[in-house]
């Protein structure tokens, strides 16, 4: 039996481009992809903090060091330049893998610079 778990997250990325007339997908700075362990063509979920839109697409590699987050194709209707988004990928893990599983969490600040990384989401306090 396998369980779907969070694999990686880019937290509070800023959309730098929204390109309607493109084949689709989301271009992400290659350095950010590598840091998060997200592969090119991997399915991703994007959660738009500004407008509540949630959508599925796939990652494509953007220029390394560019800090690009480009929402393309039909999804460009769901995000605007400057919007804060959370980009997540998920994977199937066996029961044996669950004990040691830790997602790659990359926290971004202004300009999509990396603030810090982690492998555990903080406990939410009441």
Q: Is residue 25 among the annotated active site residues?
A: yes
Residues 38 and 29: their CA atoms lie apart, in Å, by 11
Q: Is 96 annotated as a binding residue?
A: no
Q: d(Cα 17, Cα 14) in Å, to the nearest integer?
A: 9
8 A C-beta contact, residue 91 and residue 5: yes
Asked if 2 and 100 count as a contact pair (C-beta separation under 8 A), the reply is: no
User: No. of H helices and E strands in the chain?
Assistant: 2, 9
User: How far is residue 69's CA from residue 60's CA, in Å, rounded to a whole number?
Assistant: 10
- Among this protein's residues, is 22 annotated catalytic? no
74 is in an annotated binding site: yes
27 is in an annotated binding site: no
Among the listed residues 22, 47, 58, 107, the single catalytic one is 58
Binding-site entries for substrate: 57, 73-75
Active-site residues, by number, are 25, 58
């Amino acid at each position: 039996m396998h369980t779907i778990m969070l694999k990686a997250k880019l937290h509070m990325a800023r959309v730098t481009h929204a390109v309607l007339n493109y084949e689709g997908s989301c271009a992400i700075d290659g350095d950010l992809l590598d840091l998060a362990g997200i592969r090119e063509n991997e399915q991703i979920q994007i959660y738009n903090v500004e407008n509540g839109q949630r959508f599925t697409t796939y990652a494509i590699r953007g220029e390394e060091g560019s800090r690009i987050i480009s929402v393309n194709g039909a999804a460009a209707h769901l995000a605007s330049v400057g919007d804060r988004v959370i980009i997540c990928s998920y994977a199937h893990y066996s029961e044996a893998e669950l004990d040691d599983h830790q997602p790659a969490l990359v926290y971004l600040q202004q300009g999509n610079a990396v603030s810090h990384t982690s492998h555990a989401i903080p406990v939410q306090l009441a």
